[in-house]
Chain A
Amino acid sequence: MYHHTHSTVGPRELPMARSMCWHCQSEVAGEYFCERCVKVQPVSKDLDYFTCLGFPRRLTIDQHQLETKFYELSRAFHPDFYQNKSAAEQTISLGNSAMLNIAYRTLRDPIERAEYLLDLEAGSVKEIRNSPPADLFEEILELQDTLSEYRAAGHASETESTLRAKLQSERNTLEQRQREMEATLQQLFVQWDTLQDRGEATDQARTERDRILKQMRENLSNRTYVKNIVSDLASTIG
């Protein structure tokens, strides 16, 4: 059921660093251990985190499944189990564990997962760095001015309470916007996954793909700007 557009390998046949066992030279079918001599195989540095954990490049991930897979592989690679093995195996176990930890940490968090996917996929998307959202920037800088006015205003003065009310209302608006952006992001996740599941190679599918990635980039960028100003507002007016 997995359609990889760039490769023909299925989920069980993971592309490893080498297709030949480093130890017994027999062919490794693609799992993490050589079937013949049962030696651990190095996970390639070029392997993306999704493949490393045996997941397709989807943005909706079952957290429980992810965790189960992570624990399973953690046990398989854990350096403690390689203390009595050869130096080569110890090195591989260490490298694999490190890679696995980063992969898990990245995929566990939806935002980091999306950022990572964008990094992986963005290379082929033209002008993914959208033009800066000038309106949002103006808004942020204006708010900054109001914030410093508020900080400078006399304690318990009329100016202070007026500005405070203004800032509070701005904060409500921005928080509402955050919720909307969050909802949009969720929609984009679903759209991406659906598109990947269909696995079409048409022009239309490519245009759709680029649109989703671009909107996702925009959403994630704006998210940081809005988050910063909201936390600034929160810490100033409490």
Chain B
Amino acid sequence: MAYSDKVIDHFNNPRNMGSFKKDEEGVGTGMVGAPECGDVMKLQIKVQNDTIVDAKFKTFGCGSAIASSSLATEWLKGKTVEEAQKIKNTDIVQELNLPPVKIHCSVLAEDAIKAALADYQKKADGALTDAK
């Protein structure tokens, strides 16, 4: 099986690799893994005024998993929290031309986005309660 050019490009030049401090204000962290293949993905977003101003990822896994999370961070930047919720794994599959055996990598990326958003929301809600 050959990787598509886009996967290879993301793999060789991953966008937004790195991490934010977890407790930094407006940062949401999503940490997910696929027990079947052992891939681990950490995706973080930084939100200001309901808009994702920055996103970072760290992935331990195959090329498709790295490409999926790299692409996800690219897409997340500039989106509102609500828009980000709408990113689907099928969008990633289409963009990267992932073969059927690698679809689970895109699922992992979607899970990571959801987890990061949920974590951000939880922190934001907590901050709101604290302020009251």
A interface with B by C-beta (< 8 Å): 132-134, 137-138, 140-141, 144-145, 220-222, 224-225, 227-229, 232
Majority SS at the chain A contact face: helix
Specify the chain B residue showing the minimal Cβ separation from A220.
Answer: B35
* Interface pairs (21), CB distance under 8 Å: A132-B31, A133-B33, A137-B33, A137-B40, A138-B31, A138-B42, A140-B60, A141-B40, A141-B58, A141-B60, A144-B60, A145-B58, A220-B35, A221-B33, A222-B35, A224-B35, A224-B37, A228-B38, A228-B60, A229-B60, A232-B60
Specify the chain B residue showing the minimal Cβ separation from A142.
Answer: B58
Partner of B38, one of A134, A144, A145, A225: A225
* Minimum distance in angstroms from A133 CB to a CB of chain B: 8
User: For window 18-45 of chain B, which residues contact chain A by CB distance below 8 Å?
Assistant: 31-33, 35-40, 42
User: For window 101-118 of chain B, which residues contact chain A by CB distance below 8 Å?
Assistant: none
Known A134-B31, A144-B60: A225·B40 in contact at CB below 8 Å: yes
Majority SS at the chain B contact face: strand
By the criterion of a CB under 8 Å from any partner CB, how many residues of chain B are at the interface? 12
Using A225-B38, A225-B40 as known contacts, list a sample of 8 further A-B pairs with CB atoms less than 8 Å apart, ordered by residue number in A: A141-B58, A144-B58, A145-B58, A220-B35, A222-B35, A224-B37, A227-B38, A232-B60
Q: Given the complex, which residues of B lie within 8 Å of A141, measured CB to CB?
A: 40, 42, 58, 60
Q: Is the CB of A224 within 8 A of B60?
A: no
Q: Given the complex, which residues of A lie within 8 Å of B60, measured CB to CB?
A: 140-141, 144, 228-229, 232
Q: Given the complex, which residues of B lie within 8 Å of A220, measured CB to CB?
A: 35
Q: Given the complex, which residues of B lie within 8 Å of A132, measured CB to CB?
A: 31-33
Specify the chain A residue showing the minimal Cβ separation from B58.
Answer: A141
